[in-house]
């Protein structure tokens, strides 16, 4: 009965999860189009509307002309060019505002209807905190490219912003599962549970390096595959600068990102084969090949994004690459959830 009562709340949470995924994808397009620094100030309420006349557009454009990105990268921009990049950053911010409403209004309604019990209240408060934190991290990231010599945002801050968004997404999905899937439907699969943890750990590192690839534009350092500029093991380290190299050296970042992908393909293939031995866990058995399909498509899209780096079509491949990576993360999280508890029936 309690599970049935929770279904509207779970549906609301999963709708929010879809909106978070869309927001991450919009953020990716914003980065790929070089739009992230087009709005140089943060106005949570007044920023909802774009410039409404030519004078306001020129004012916004003049503010953009003051930052390093315009001076060194986009100094050929016309007002029309600026309007294009402005749109993506404005859309990204406004989708965040829409998400705030999509979470807040139903939350208040569910409170009024008493569909949110005490056990849900604190997790939901944490959810709102994570959402607000994500907005703050976004602005901190943007600030790294305003009033500095950087022509792009800090890739470290970009990675923090990206991973924080994924943490929020995982939190929402996990909470939705927790209130909607009865415990008795969760047969305990200890091997799969710990195998899922291993994959999630490596996947988290891979996602960080995906953000590093994006933020440093590391693809331009080696637009070749399967080798990295003709070598499988290029020179990646400088004397006494290991930490700097693994976080800033473009070749090192690309090497780690590529080879973690190969490792994940192997591990996930073994993972799915092990899932084939879980007939008692109907959910895991039925969907056992989904992780392999996702990781295979993900690697293919990664290669296509790399070799098409100098072409406009990279926007499509890179966005799909990010999208499938998010789906893979969600898939492993769900599989972990369905393997983690002993059968209580």
pLDDT along the chain (345 residues), means of 10: 79 97 97 94 85 95 95 95 97 96 96 90 95 94 90 94 98 94 72 93 98 95 94 82 90 96 97 86 87 97 96 94 98 91 47
> Which of 154, 180, 206 marks a domain boundary?
180
pLDDT given at position 43? 85
| Closest-CA residue to 172 (of 35, 324, 340, 18) | 18
Q: How is residue 163 written in tokens?
A: 């991973």
Are residue 47 and residue 108 in the same domain, yes or no? yes
Are residue 290 and residue 169 in the same domain, yes or no? no
> Which of 147, 180, 213 marks a domain boundary?
180
pLDDT given at position 185? 62
Are residue 265 and residue 202 in the same domain, yes or no? yes
Are residue 192 and residue 339 in the same domain, yes or no? yes
Are residue 19 and residue 131 in the same domain, yes or no? yes
Q: Which residues pair with 228 in a beta bridge?
A: 231
Q: What angle do CA 270, 274, 278 make, to 5 degrees?
A: 160
Tell me which residue has tokens 């959830």: 337
pLDDT given at position 293? 97
Number of domains in the chain: 2
Are residue 172 and residue 270 in the same domain, yes or no? no
Q: How far is CA 235 from CA 166, 238, 245, 255, 277, in A?
A: 32, 8, 11, 10, 42
> Which of 116, 148, 180 marks a domain boundary?
180
Instruction: Kindly state the helix (H) or strand (E) to which residue 145 belongs, with its residue range.
Output: none
Please enumerate in sequence order all residues whose Cβ is within 8 A of that of 87, keeping only pairs 6 or more positions apart, or say none: 35, 50
Are residue 173 and residue 189 in the same domain, yes or no? no
Q: Which range marks the domain in which residue 130 is found?
A: 1-180
Please enumerate in sequence order all residues whose Cβ is within 8 A of that of 162, keeping only pairs 6 or more positions apart, or say none: 24, 27, 207, 210, 211
């Amino acid at each position: 009965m309690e599970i049935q009562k929770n279904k509207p709340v779970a549906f609301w949470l999963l709708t929010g999860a879809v909106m978070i995924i869309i927001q991450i994808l919009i953020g990716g397009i914003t980065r790929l189009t070089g739009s992230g620094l087009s709005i140089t100030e943060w106005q949570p309420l007044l920023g909802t509307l774009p410039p409404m006349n030519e004078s306001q557009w020129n004012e916004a454009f003049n503010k953009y002309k003051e930052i390093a990105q315009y001076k060194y990268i986009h100094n050929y921009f016309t007002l029309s060019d600026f309007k294009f990049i402005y749109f993506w950053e404005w859309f990204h911010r406004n989708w965040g505002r829409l998400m705030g409403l999509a979470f807040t209004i139903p939350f208040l309604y569910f409170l009024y209807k008493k569909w949110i019990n005490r056990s849900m209240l604190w997790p939901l408060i944490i959810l709102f905190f994570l959402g607000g934190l994500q907005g703050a991290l976004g602005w901190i990231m943007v600030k790294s490219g305003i009033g500095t010599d950087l022509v792009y945002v800090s890739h470290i801050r970009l990675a923090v912003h990206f991973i924080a968004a994924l943490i929020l997404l995982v939190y929402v999905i996990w909470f939705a599962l927790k209130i909607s899937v009865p415990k008795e439907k969760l047969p305990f699969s200890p091997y799969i549970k710990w195998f899922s943890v291993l994959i999630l750990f490596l996947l988290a590192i891979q996602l960080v390096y995906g953000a590093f690839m994006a933020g440093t534009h590391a693809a331009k350092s080696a637009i070749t595959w399967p080798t990295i500029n003709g070598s499988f093991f290029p020179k990646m380290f400088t004397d006494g600068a290991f930490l700097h190299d693994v976080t800033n050296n473009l070749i090192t970042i690309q090497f780690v990102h590529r080879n973690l992908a190969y490792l994940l393909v192997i591990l996930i293939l073994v993972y799915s084969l092990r899932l084939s031995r879980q007939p008692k866990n109907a959910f895991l058995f039925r969907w056992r090949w989904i992780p392999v399909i996702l990781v295979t498509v993900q690697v293919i899209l990664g290669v296509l994004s790399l070799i098409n780096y100098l072409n406009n079509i990279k926007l499509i491949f890179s966005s799909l690459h990010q999208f499938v990576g998010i789906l893979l993360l969600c898939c492993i999280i769900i599989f972990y959830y369905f393997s983690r508890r002993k059968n209580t029936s």
